[in-house]
Amino acid sequence: MTSRLRIAIRLASTLALLIVPPLALQRASAQTTVTSERPATFTLPNGLQVLVIPDHRTPVVTQMIWYKVGSADETPGKSGLAHFLEHLMFKGTAKHPAGEFSKTVLRIGGNENAFTSTDYTGYFQRVPREQLAKMMEFEADRMTGLILKDENVLPERDVVLEEFNMRVANNPDARLTEQIMAALYLNHPYGRPVIGWRQEIEKLDREDALAFYKRFYAPNNAILVIAGDVDAKDIRPMVERTFGDIPAQPAIPAHRLRPQEPVPSAPRTVTLSDPRVEQTSVRRYYLVPSANTAAAGESPALDVLAQLLGSGANSYLYRALVIDRQLAVSAGAGYQGTSLDATQFMISVSPKPGVDFSQIEQVIDSVIADIGQNPIRAEDLERVKTQLIAEAIYAQDNQATLARWYGGALTSGLSVDDIRSWPDRIRAVTAEQVRDAAQKWLDKKRSVTGYLVKDAAPKREEKRS
């Protein structure tokens, strides 16, 4: 497999996970069977947390190991290190040389991948159930047995830089998001891109990767999620045999402490110009609480508010901008609820040609002001709550989605009960809570507005004869 194809496959998987937060992954499926059995959980003496999600419909199992470390946990000046190490975790151990793990997964008809976010790094395999013990042995071995040499570290750094070019440098939309996030977070490391800043990626080396690996990759900093045709009573002895002798890393703190954001005091704007832009856009990000940091009821209210504002043709922003005033070709909103620290509420609009950004912003502001000042229509509130709850139930039909859902949430400070009670908390959201959320959190002082515009290509100078 070429490095470019490997990047494309990994990127597709990573974006599928990262664009949709794990609590919202409940909304990703259109199937109808409900998997309602409560996952079994236990913790080994060395601190490894284990969650087992039985699903006996097919003889397949998904193994995911989630490390509670992401780009926000990197040493300042070494951005991209968590993602770089994710790549290097496929370089082999003394027991299993580079390529053996991946070739084994391919040979038995499975699939695998890995992903890095701000709060976690994860690795997964989906294989026939009888192959689980082998996958578990591979994963336990590379938790502590990784071997890195300059001859495979430095070429992989080039692969990451190529990925940076594909994902960011040659993608105006991604560059705008990068700049918005850097402006939104003045103090918190969420302002650093997960893939890193180019000038810092270029300097990452073997020693950086090994130090990060030894610091964070340990059983007491990991969650093992097993979903599929398994029983918890059989999984526990298998996990104990495979992971039980790996020592804990006592230097890892029980709770991650990061620099936090000051109270926002002024709106900010960024403009990105690029000759490759085919569609201009306006994006506004608000700094808001995550499900982990919000007061009771606030996070579900923000979920409902995002659905009301920007999900589908009946949403308020879509109707106002696309249907009624015909100023835009698309409009949407989202809330990134699953995050360890303060997170983002996002609005995105693609204007029609010739429409000024100021016109778009006036409509956005008026729609938000209306929600904050007037009661939500009861039928609208019930419609979006029903949509959220129904999609949450439907998505439970996919074992890999469930594994992502639980793993992403648990590594972001939530509990199994938080995850399972999410539909009930959505059902309990009131019109007053939605109004209060709009008033309190969608304050322009808490926002960064980004503009993506087409920049004229530079003219070539004519040669004089």
Q: Decide: 239 and 44 in contact? Cβ < 8 Å.
A: yes
Q: Which residues lie closer than 8 Å to 15 by C-beta, 6 or more apart?
A: none
The b-or-e profile of 374-385 (16+ CB within 10 A means b, else e) is eebeeebbeebb
Residue with the two structure tokens 């979903």: 227
From 361, 451, 446, select the one nearest 186 (Cα to Cα). Answer: 446
* Phi and psi, residue 283, nearest 5°: -130, 140
* Phi and psi, residue 98, nearest 5°: -50, 130
SS3 87: helix
Distance CA 399, CA 174 (A): 30
The b-or-e profile of 181-191 (16+ CB within 10 A means b, else e) is bbbbbeebbbb
| Residues facing 451 on adjacent strands | 271, 282
Q: Which residues lie closer than 8 Å to 231 by C-beta, 6 or more apart?
A: 52, 54
Tell me, yes or no, if 130 is annotated catalytic: no
Catalytic residue among 74, 86, 139, 163: 86
DSSP E strand boundaries for 155-239: 222-228
Distance CA 433, CA 385 (A): 13
- Which residues are part of the catalytic machinery? 86
